[in-house]
Amino acid sequence: LQLPSYPFPPGLMIVCLDDSAVARHSLRNSLQTHVPSATVSTFGKDAADVADFKRMALQLGDILIVDQKIEMAGVNDQGTEIVKELIKAGYSGFSCVRSSMPTRADKALSAESGVHWHVGKE
List Cβ neighbours of 45 (8 Å cut-off, separation of 6 or more): 21, 24, 72
- DSSP assignment letter at 5: P
Split the chain (122 residues) into runs of 10 and give each run's mean pLDDT. 76 96 95 93 96 98 96 90 97 94 84 90 73
For the entire predicted model, the pTM comes to: 0.90
Angstrom distances, CA of residue 76 to CA of 29, 72, 79, 112: 26, 6, 10, 20
Nearest residue to 75 (alpha-carbon basis) of 95, 94, 52: 52
Least Cα distance to 35 among 120, 78, 96 occurs for 96
